[in-house]
Amino acid sequence: GDSVTQMEGPVTLSEEAFLTINCTYTATGYPSLFWYVQYPGEGLQLLLKATKADDKGSNKGFEATYRKETTSFHLEKGSVQVSDSAVYFCALSDRGNAGKSTFGDGTTLTVKP
Amino acid sequence: DAGVIQSPRHEVTEMGQEVTLRCKPISGHDYLFWYRQTMMRGLELLIYFNNNVPIDDSGMPEDRFSAKMPNASFSTLKIQPSEPRDSAVYFCASSPRAGVGTQYFGPGTRLLVL
């Protein structure tokens, strides 16, 4: 079945540091890939997505590229801010899976001033 | 657009009581999902509906849990009787389309069973 594996956390960075959170996936079909972010006390919200190989999703300075050859969708940001402190979830949605998404375990990011 | 609406936002109850969580999805969305989030188990999919019909309830932990979607704009998740291990944050999410559809999450209901 489908699965998503994320880099284990927690991750602690200083403000303006470079961020990478690794995500790899296993899927039988041709999935769409997502990064969601969850701020304290809130629900998950879409950060970015990519629907086919080599697509790059981007939002709020975050980027991730759909790499079919390595089955990866790593999240990057060049300069993190304190306000980026949150939990980040990698997810996939497979057309063959009747609408269901598979989520990773989440990576907690803390950015210190 | 009001987004996904959940009520109540917080619920404190005693073991053995019935708990009903409510969700109003985004208008026009075909899919509705119920999740549970805990520190120990992370985010778990409990059940999801397509066009008001339950598609997969394999994540429902036991018979004490039930979910309904009587129409396109309302769903409930019921726990009867509740137990302390049911304490968690319960999220409802809706999605406009299968396959590439993004899920839109509600703010969650924080449940504490004493």
pLDDT confidence of residue B5: 97
Using an 8 Å CB-CB cutoff, list chain A residues near B50. Answer: 98-99
pLDDT confidence of residue A98: 62
Q: What is the Cα–Cα distance from A77 to A81, expressed in whole angstroms? A: 10
Probe site for chain B from A44, A45, A55, A94 (most B CB atoms < 10 A):
A44
Phi, psi of A84 (to 5 degrees): -85, -5
pLDDT at B1 over 70: no
pLDDT at B2 over 90: no
pLDDT confidence of residue A30: 82
Beta strand pairing call for A107-112 and A19-21: unpaired
Q: Is A101–B103 a contact, with Cβ atoms under 8 angstroms apart? A: yes
Per residue in A57-70, pLDDT (tens digit) is 999 999 999 999 99
pLDDT at B99 over 60: no
Q: Which of B31, B91, B108 minimises the CB distance to A99?
A: B31
Lowest mean pLDDT among A13-27, B29-43, B96-110: B96-110
Q: How many CA atoms lie within 13 A of B23 on its CB side?
A: 32
Per residue in A45-60, pLDDT (tens digit) is 999 999 999 999 999 9
Question: Which band of pLDDT confidence, cut at 50, 70 and 90, is reported for residue B100?
Answer: low
Question: Chain B 32-91, CB below 8 Å of chain A: which residues?
Answer: 33, 42-43, 45, 48, 50, 55-56, 91
pLDDT confidence of residue A73: 98
